[in-house]
Amino acid sequence: MRAGGGMTAPRTIATGFAFPEGPRWHDGRLWFSDQHAREVVVLEPDGTLVERFAVPGGPSGLGWMPDGTLLVVSMHERRLYRRAHDGTLSVHAELSAYHPGHSNDMVVDLYGRAYVGNIGFDFDGGEAPRKTCIVAVEPDGAVAVAADGLDCPNGTVISPDGKVLIIAESMGRCLTQFDIDPAGKLSGRRLFADLGDHVPDGICLDAEGAVWIAAPYAHAALRVAEGGAIIGRVTTEGAMPYACMLGGADGGDLYLCCAPDHDPTVTVAARGGRIDIVRVDVAGAGLP
């Protein structure tokens, strides 16, 4: 569906975060991980704070199982936690045997299967990039490699019909797509978009099949069509967008997780992270 109303300039609706990342639109609210503050934050659509809760090891990707149970990635523990309705956290899966770098973004399918990426190398320590994998975590917590040989698998989306997974390879500067079979296996790896000089971080999918990417080093969010054409751009001032999510009453609001730096020694003290919102022309896939 189209959101209508034309694209607007971004405006800030919430501030004071260390490093907001991994946003998801769920039950009419924006959820995201304030990674360096080691907590998950929940906001009303207008930016009003609803809830915040701590996650050991720092949270990253978020998603929900069919019964409404929240799954949240612990970056530095390289674990997947499950949060019960009463707020209790328990370990859903151990990922350290598969993730050489800290665990990162995630998408959860309609069956409760989670696909979790990882950095693959010590980014903050200046280690040279190396290829790594994305894992599939079954609803019972069993873990297996879903795809290997990826250059920093990061933001991830699944098409509304559940048949295609698209993932941002940050160090590969591209979007890659796979077919998903009924058992959740990935196959048919192919290029969705070569992004040239742009480094994609978090991504989201709209109703026309285009992908919004957060491109922090361009200080912009870019709308990318299959094949690589950039068909939309939102520029942020004073901070870099690291992730994005479509939501709002009709799915036509693009939320941007922004921060002026990615270094934890800077972000935790500065608290310069913020959430911006932009009205766009095409609603999110499967929304509202």
Q: Are 172 and 149 in contact (CB under 8 A)?
A: no
Query: Does the annotation list 118 as a binding residue?
Result: no
In angstroms, the first-to-last Cα distance of the chain is 9
User: What DSSP string runs through 179-235?
Assistant: EE-TT--EEEEEEEEE-TT----SEEEBTTS-EEEEEGGGTEEEEE-TTS-EEEEEE
Non-local CB neighbours of 28 within 8 Å, separated by 6+ positions: 45
**CA–CA separation, 72 vs 65, rounded Å?**
11
CA-based nearest residue to 166, from 224, 111, 122, 96: 224
Q: Which residue has the tokens 């971004």?
A: 10
Q: Is 154 known as a binding-site position?
A: yes
Kindly give, in sequence order, each residue whose CB lies less than 8 Å from that of residue 88, ignoring residues fewer than 6 positions away: none
Catalytic one among 105, 151, 201, 276? 201
Is 276 catalytic? The answer is no
Query: Cα–Cα distance between 120 and 102 in angstroms, integer?
Result: 7
21 labeled part of a ligand binding site: yes
Are 143 and 93 in contact by the 8 Å Cβ rule? The answer is yes
Q: Which of 11, 63, 12, 13 is nearest to 40 (CA)?
A: 63
46 has binding-site annotation: no
Token digits for 8?
């607007």
* Alpha-carbon span 248 to 277, nearest angstrom: 10
Print burial letters for 222-252: b (CB count within 10 Å at least 16), e (below 16). bbbeeeeebebebebeebbbbbbbbbbeebb
Residues in the annotated binding site for a divalent metal cation? 21, 154, 201
Residues in the annotated binding site for substrate? 104, 122
Residues in the annotated binding site? 21, 104, 122, 154, 201
Catalytic residue list: 201
